[in-house]
Amino acid sequence: MQVRKAAGSLGAFVEGVSLEAAGRSDALFAEVKAALLEHQVLFFRDQKMSPADYQRFARRFGPIEGHPAYNVVPDAPDVQILESTPEHPSKIELWHTDMTFRPHPAAITLLHGQVIPPFGGDTLWASASAAYEALSEPVRKLVDGLYAVHDFRHGFRESLAEPGGAERLAPAIAANPPVRHPVVRTHPETGKRAIYVNRLFTTHIEGLGRAESEAILEMLYRHVVQDEFTVRLSWQPLTVAIWDNCCTQHKPVNDYLSMHRKMHRVTIAGERPV
């Protein structure tokens, strides 16, 4: 297994490994997991495997965390289907960390490219831990110890505004009341600190006026996604990306919405952020 860094702050291409095989091998899996903790997001090309194989591999990372808004593959129920078509284009546009509206947000996300448009639809990731380390001392003093509120309704506001959207998502809303997480999160395995607020799900910082909170959040959002903290992946069919939600944010590049794109996703349960 060869690991080649894809950018300065995070991201690596992993070659010479079959994830289908890693799903059946403790040793191989341990190598993949160690590389993930080091590089925060891993890219694997040409991973031909069935949803069942993919599910077997993904389960090694930990218990599965289902998503309230997505369909799943019938014979591999842990595998969610993320599909964008010209009729129903994806609405996720903003930089975010997955499922921070949950008390225990997903620790790890895996995507397996199924239908990939001939061009466009890249994904960017940003290292929220590299960004935290680059914050100036006065800003770190301000944000260490603050808590922010994250809300499913905020992230899915566009879907909710669609005809029938509120009815369709009502159970998800009922099951996902707003939650509070620390603005700076300590990684459960590496101990590294990372900025843990995102434009998609974070509504405000507690203990501050709305406008004050917006100013501080804006400062943090802009800081995290500076180009120096990012890496960019161009997908191919059968590309797999695995990322660590405890210390990254990501953003889709929506330049493909006139085309069909389909991904298989698995999200791994995480701990309560501290």
Site for other proteins, rule CB under 8 A: 135-139, 141-142, 207-209, 211-212, 214-216, 218-219, 222-223, 226
Which of 96, 153, 187, 204 is catalytic? The answer is: 96
Task: In whole angstroms, give the CA distance from residue 206 to residue 178.
Answer: 12
Active site residue 265: yes
Cβ-in-10-Å burial (0-12, 13-18, 19+) of 4 comes to: exposed
Task: In angstroms, give the least distance from the CB of 132 to other proteins.
Answer: 12
Active site residue 187: no
Going by C-alpha positions, the residue among 83, 9, 80, 81 that lies closest to residue 41 is: 9
Q: Which is nearer to other proteins, 73 or 134 (CB)?
A: 134
Instruction: Give the type of residue at 51.
Output: P
Question: Would you call 96 a catalytic residue per the annotation?
Answer: yes
Catalytic residue among 53, 56, 78, 98: 98
CB of 207 to other proteins, least distance (A): 5
Q: Are 258 and 94 in contact (CB under 8 A)?
A: no
**Choice between 185 and 204, CB closer to other proteins:** 204
Question: Minimum distance from CB of 185 to other proteins (Å)?
Answer: 19
Q: Closer to other proteins at the Cβ: 8 or 145?
A: 145
Contact between 243 and 11 (Cβ < 8 Å): no
Q: How far is the CB of 148 from other proteins (least distance, A)?
A: 13
On whether the CB atoms of residues 177 and 171 are closer than 8 A, the answer is no
Backbone angles phi, psi at 129, to 5 degrees: -85, -40
Question: How does 164-174 read in b/e, with b if 16+ C-beta sit within 10 Å?
Answer: eeeeebeebbe
Q: How far is the CB of 38 from other proteins (least distance, A)?
A: 28
142 or 259, CB closer to other proteins?
142
- CA-nearest of 37, 41, 48 to 14 is 41
The smaller minimum CB distance to other proteins, of residues 137 and 167, is found at 137
Instruction: Report the first-to-last Cα separation within the chain, whole angstroms.
Output: 33
Q: Which residues are catalytic?
A: 96, 98, 250, 265
